[in-house]
Structure 1
Amino acid sequence: MSGALIVSVSGIRDDTRDYAAEFARELDSRSVPLSLLVAPRLKDKYRLVKDSATQQWLRGRRDGGDAIVLHGYDQAATKRRRAEFAALPRHEARLRLMAADRVMEETGLRTRVFAPPRWLASPGAVSALPDAGFRMIAGINAIRDLETGTAERGRVLGIGEGMKAEPWWCRALVIGAGRVARRDGLVRLAVSAQQLGCSGPRRAMLDAIDLALYSGAVPGVYEHVRTVRRAA
């Protein structure tokens, strides 16, 4: 049985959209769909509802086969040096999830899949997801179906958004992706759109994708079905 490959991009906004779009074109040429991690609010007072160009681009990519994944509400640290959902109790997590879901519905980007900022969610946050209508969570070490409780293990290999971006790490990411793919495992690659504007991280991601494909990994996306979708 072949392994699988999932590639995600986060931090997509008005000033990083072009980087994401160029990367998406590279992946289109390889027949690799993207999982687009979207947050309604980002730093510097960014609001998705006011960014119609990014909304349109995201909807177009989704219609072409990419997946939209909720990636937090405003990504603010709720405790010192902790990611937004990493330490939240259930009630507060539910409020944030519902607020984010309303924005996603308003912009035509509603999704039933959640990937917490930095891929970290507290037990309380995980327990709040079904109440807010979510059916799958992509965490740091596994993708979990919230309806069945089943999980597909695979650790995220990422650049940016709290993960390293130094040259040595980029080389390690490529090697790690190839190793997992040769073992027919689940290769999960993640990059922030801001890092795609830098030649080194961008090249490393493309090399890791190419190596995974060469090793037989089948591309797919994060989506709310009971198995990870794999493109033909």
Structure 2
Amino acid sequence: MWVHDVVARLIVSLSGLTDDSLPRGAEFAAALDARGVALSQLYRPGAYAGPAASPLVDWLRGRRDLGDAIVLHGFDHSAGPTRVGRRAEFAALPQHEAGLRLRAARRTLGAVDLRTDLFVPPRWIASAGTVDALREQGFTMYADENGVHRLDGPGSVRTRVLGFRTAGEGRGAAEPWRCRLLVAEVARIVRRGGVVRINVRAKDLKRPARVGAALTAIEEALSCGATPVTYRLPSATAAAA
């Protein structure tokens, strides 16, 4: 395990940003800055990198100085015949094919001065071959639907990712219920000293109720004593000390 005590942790990630959705993302990030919470920025370079002068890329580079972590979130979610369902780019890839995509993604990142050894697969699903390729290429962490896993040493934490990825996208009367459920689930995990993982998508930022619920859940976690961190985990050596 890389968590050796009962102090709760809070990880907030943001995914799916583009140049067009950047103003909403920047507003959400500023709200987290005011609360002392750094973001884990889930970024897929094949779809969004664009030119080096892209406003999103410039913003991501600037956010590194504020403690945000860049997390590779696949390469091109829409490409390839091996997808399992929508955007599950790495769900069924064998090691060799996963390795090729990871190298291409890293080259694209490097071209715009972004680097990372952290990985979250699209739809939070990674094949065994992908995990092997990540380890082979020196990634230190990957997170899936049910946990956060070290790749530079032993250890993982079972903790479900929370957010608004539900059938029907929370339309109508179900939306307030889902927002309340997020806040209640976060409070329950923090009281047990667990790791809270909240993921907010760019499309969620269009809905004030979802933004409000996410911020309320974050405030609840902080008020209950959770320590805000990112997916940039301590080194395996430091975690074992």
Length-normalised TM-score, structure 1: 0.90
**Aligned residue number for residue 88 of structure 1:** 93
1:92 is paired with a residue of what secondary structure? Answer: helix
Q: Using the alignment, how far apart are the partners of 2:100 and 2:92 within structure 1? A: 14
Name structure 1 gaps, 5 residues minimum.
Answer: none
Measure how far apart 1:106 and its partner are.
1.1
For residue 185 of structure 1, what is the amino acid of its counterpart? G
Identify the match of residue 111 of structure 2 among 106, 115, 118: 106
Deviations 1:143-165 (A, max 9, x none): 111121311221100224x7774
Taking the TM superposition and a 5 Å limit, the aligned residue runs for 1:186-225 are 186-225=195-234
Letter in 2 for 1:114: F
The residue aligned with 1:115 is: 120
Measure the CA separation in 2 of the matches of 1:126 and 1:9: 22
Partner of 1:9: 14
Does 2:99 match 1:97? no
Query: 2:46·2:108 contact (CA, 8 Å) conserved in 1?
Result: no
Aligned pairs for 1:149-188 within 5 A: 149-160=154-165, 165-166=169-170, 167=175, 168-188=177-197
Which amino acid letter does the alignment assign opposite residue 58 of structure 1? L
Higher share of residues assigned strand: 1
Q: SS in structure 2 opposite 1:129?
A: helix
Residues 143-202 of structure 1, C-alpha deviation per residue, up to 9 Å, x if partnerless? Answer: 111121311221100224x77741132221111111101111000000112211211111
1:74 maps to which of 58, 76, 92: 76
Distance (Å, rounded) in 2 between the aligned partners of 1:134 and 1:80? 23
Amino acid corresponding to residue 67 of structure 1 in structure 2? A
- 54-63 or 129-138: bigger deviation: 129-138
SS of residue paired to 2:163: strand
Q: Tell me, what secondary structure is at the counterpart of 1:194? A: helix
In 2: Cα distance, 1:80 partner to 1:4 partner? 31
- Structure with the largest fraction of helix: 2
For residue 98 of structure 1, what is the amino acid of its counterpart?
A: R
Q: Are residues 187 and 224 of structure 1, via their aligned partners in 2, closer, same or farther at CA, if it must alter by over 3 Å? A: closer
8 Å contact 1:113–1:224 — kept in the other structure?
Answer: no
Measure the CA separation in 2 of the matches of 1:215 and 1:186: 13
Q: 1:54 aligns with which of 46, 49, 56?
A: 56
How far residue 90 of structure 1 moved from its aligned partner, in angstroms, is 0.9
Q: How large is the RMSD of aligned CA atoms in angstroms?
A: 1.9
Q: Distance in 2 between matches of 1:132 and 1:76?
A: 23
TM-score normalised by structure 2 residue count: 0.87
Larger CA Rg, structure 1 vs 2: 2
Amino acid paired to 1:223: R
Alpha carbons 1:40, 1:49 under 8 Å: kept: no
| 1:159 match: secondary structure | coil
What displacement does 1:226 show?
3.3
Supply the distance in 2 between the matched residues of 1:65 and 1:80 (Cα, whole angstroms): 34
